[in-house]
């Protein structure tokens, strides 16, 4: 492993963990303290939003009303997103003249952005108008992230309150998290990105001359846009010469900031954060990684402050950080290691060493950007899949077999290693309840967590939270590999092709959005399959989390006794990590053995 990778990882974590406590405390103040001077600037606008929306900020909700509000808000958001995509050809700010998005792609994209997945089966610069990018996709980047923050705050209130029948007001939570947290941070980050060279304009696409002409062959099309076939049924090709290149323009920086801070991941361009207009420099790349993990890490401190014991938040954060370091180091070993035969034994058969020389860095540079290099790219791979963020700065399909194993497993752990904004923390708290339940069984006591007894109802909800996404992933993958429509999208038969399908369904069900892009997934079959995985992967977890919040809020607080297991020390951190690996990882062992493990062992 490259020692520079270890140094970069250490530097990244130091900066992240220095920023997170301040942001975490600010989130608690912004969301819970309506009189703070830190939020005085936005209070008139907040009151105006309540007045226009008919919202009573003092009227709190029980968990059922809160869940109904989340579902209603998401359904309406999906409908609006779908309709605006279909109508974009009739709307302004469309300099490239794009027509309506196809029905299955529009449906998939609507579900994707509403569920904070941001899976993209299309090329942004060749499909979406500026208005669609701003009014549809960027708005959903904000409100889907705000929904995740609201849900985790409802769960935290369940722990913090006792003998209560409410868990907060969803409309207030969404308003405050958008107005006071996501918007200010996005404004700051967007300005930084513009300073680094990320574009922000409404110009028409530019035609620029090439330094040298490029000759290529493409299928000849008829008047209807369909390939012309010869008598043998083969596509007729024609030789073409390109002398110019089209450069896409657009309001990129404003979308880029919330794409990362909201842990969304949907890129303005098809190449996402590998595109120089989205991520131009090594410094912008480092800040992008910080932006992805900043709010998930900060919410751990918010959790500690709201339950009145900062050590509880630190224990959860420590568990996430330890898991992240381990997985990042494994990815670093297989991607930056030398010789490359350690990462892919098949390369040794072809005489490829990949060792570092005076003119090369060594390691697996396939599919990576030279302006970032191996170390920063490999760390980005771990960061974006530890969080539920689909942003990528490299081709994940070009990772080594075990290098691809790491991001896949990080997602399959229900993305609790930091995870999404809100989603990672509430999923990790589900594992924390499971951990104290297992510990309670071992010592013969009723398990308790933060002064609340964990009983049958709580464990049923936690079981749904933990098992919902594995069920979606494994069943969805089985369906895809069993049907001709699913097999048709695979460009690489064998274990790698299976990995492409497994990765896609894993990414959708866990609301990540990244892909092994070798799979042709913009088809009616995959648009529907992955759309269903994204929808149920989001709300089959949110609803039981809110039911858990309501149950906990109604319980009385039990004083800690001599037999109460501390949930803020190293022992609990080890137990929590064990629960995540035991339940999360073992569920997928057979599937992983058929994909990346089998590919790694091929001779």
pLDDT in tens, 427-450: 999 999 999 999 888 877 778 999
Residues of the chain where predicted confidence (pLDDT) is lower than 50: 341
- What is d(CA 527, CA 123) in angstroms, rounded to the nearest whole number? 14
Q: Residue 433's closest CA among 583, 311, 283?
A: 583
Angle formed by the axes of helices 282-306 and 139-160, nearest 10°: 30
- What is d(CA 11, CA 569) in angstroms, rounded to the nearest whole number? 25
pLDDT at 231: 76
Q: Which residues contact 562 (CB under 8 A, 6 or more apart)?
A: none
| Residue that is written with structure tokens 């290693």 in the block | 417
- What is d(CA 164, CA 554) in angstroms, rounded to the nearest whole number? 5
- What is d(CA 141, CA 264) in angstroms, rounded to the nearest whole number? 6
pLDDT at 349: 65
What is the number of alpha carbons within 13 Å of residue 502 lying toward its C-beta?
25
β-strands 452-453, 206-219: how paired? unpaired
Could you report the per-residue pLDDT of 313-343, keeping only the tens digit for each? 999 999 999 999 999 999 998 888 655 545 5
CB 62 within 8 A of CB 161: no
CB 175 within 8 A of CB 51: no
pLDDT at 300: 97
Q: Which residues contact 484 (CB under 8 A, 6 or more apart)?
A: none
- What is d(CA 427, CA 466) in angstroms, rounded to the nearest whole number? 8
**Prediction pTM value:** 0.93
Angle formed by the axes of helices 495-509 and 456-482, nearest 10°: 140
CA angle 7/12/13 to nearest 5° reads: 100
- What is d(CA 417, CA 413) in angstroms, rounded to the nearest whole number? 8
Q: Could you give the 3-state DSSP secondary structure of residue 53? A: helix
Q: Which residues pair with 209 in a beta bridge?
A: 244
- What is d(CA 263, CA 387) in angstroms, rounded to the nearest whole number? 7
Q: Residue 264's closest CA among 143, 398, 154?
A: 143
């Amino acid at each position: 492993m490259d020692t520079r990778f270890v140094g970069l990882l250490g530097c990244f974590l130091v900066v992240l963990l220095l920023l997170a406590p301040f942001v975490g405390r600010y989130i608690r103040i912004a969301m819970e303290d309506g009189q703070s001077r830190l939020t005085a600037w936005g209070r008139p606008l907040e009151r105006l939003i309540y007045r226009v929306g008919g919202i009573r900020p003092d009227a709190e909700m029980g968990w059922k009303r809160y869940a109904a509000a989340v579902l209603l808000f998401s359904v309406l958001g999906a409908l609006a997103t779908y309709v605006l995509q279909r109508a974009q050809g009739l709307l302004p700010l469309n300099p490239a003249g794009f027509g309506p998005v196809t029905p299955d792609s529009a449906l998939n994209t609507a579900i994707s952005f509403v569920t904070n997945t941001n899976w993209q089966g299309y090329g942004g610069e060749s499909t979406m108008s500026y208005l669609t990018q701003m009014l549809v996709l960027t708005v959903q980047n904000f409100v889907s992230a705000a929904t995740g923050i609201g849900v985790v705050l409802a769960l935290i209130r369940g722990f913090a309150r006792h003998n209560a029948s409410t868990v907060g007001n969803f409309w207030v939570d969404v308003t405050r998290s958008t107005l006071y947290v996501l918007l200010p941070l996005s404004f700051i980050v967007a300005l930084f990105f513009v300073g680094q060279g990320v574009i922000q304009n409404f110009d028409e696409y530019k035609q620029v001359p090439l330094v040298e002409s490029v000759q290529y062959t493409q299928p000849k099309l008829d008047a209807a846009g369909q390939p012309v076939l010869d008598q043998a049924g083969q596509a007729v090709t024609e030789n073409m010469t390109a002398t110019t290149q089209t450069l896409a323009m657009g309001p990129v920086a404003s979308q880029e900031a919330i794409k990362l801070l909201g842990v969304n991941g949907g890129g303005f361009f098809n190449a996402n954060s590998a595109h120089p207009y989205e991520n131009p420099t090594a410094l912008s790349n480092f800040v992008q990684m910080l932006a992805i993990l900043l709010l998930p890490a900060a919410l751990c401190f918010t959790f500690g402050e709201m339950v009145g014991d900062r050590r509880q938040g630190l224990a959860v954060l420590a568990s996430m950080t330890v898991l992240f370091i381990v997985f990042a180091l494994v990815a670093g070993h297989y991607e930056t290691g030398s010789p490359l035969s350690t990462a892919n034994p098949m390369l040794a058969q072809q005489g490829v060493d990949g060792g570092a020389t005076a003119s090369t860095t060594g390691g697996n540079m396939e599919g990576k950007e030279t302006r970032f290099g191996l170390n920063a790219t490999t760390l980005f791979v771990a960061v974006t899949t530890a969080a539920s963020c689909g942003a990528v700065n490299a081709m994940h399909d070009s990772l080594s077999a075990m290098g691809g194993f790491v991001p896949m497993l990080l997602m399959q752990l229900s993305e609790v290693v930091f995870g999404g904004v809100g989603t990672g923390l509430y999923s990790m708290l589900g594992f924390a309840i499971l951990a104290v339940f297992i510990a309670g069984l071992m010592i013969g006591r009723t398990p308790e967590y933060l002064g609340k007894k964990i009983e049958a109802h709580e464990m049923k909800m936690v079981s749904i939270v933990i098992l919902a996404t594995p069920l979606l992933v494994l069943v969805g993958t089985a369906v895809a590999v069993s049907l001709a429509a699913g097999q048709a999208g695979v460009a690489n038969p064998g274990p790698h092709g299976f990995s492409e399908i497994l990765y896609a369904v894993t990414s959708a069900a866990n609301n990540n959005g990244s892909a092994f892009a070798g799979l042709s997934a913009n088809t009616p079959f995959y648009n529907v399959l992955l759309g269903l995985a994204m929808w149920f992967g989001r709300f089959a977890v949110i609803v039981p989390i809110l039911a858990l919040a309501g149950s906990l809020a109604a319980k009385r607080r039990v004083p800690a006794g001599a037999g109460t297991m501390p949930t803020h020390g190293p022992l609990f951190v080890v137990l929590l990590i064990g629960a995540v690996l035991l339940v999360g990882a073992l569920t997928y062992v057979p599937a992983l053995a058929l994909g990346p493990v089998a590919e790694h062992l091929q001779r």
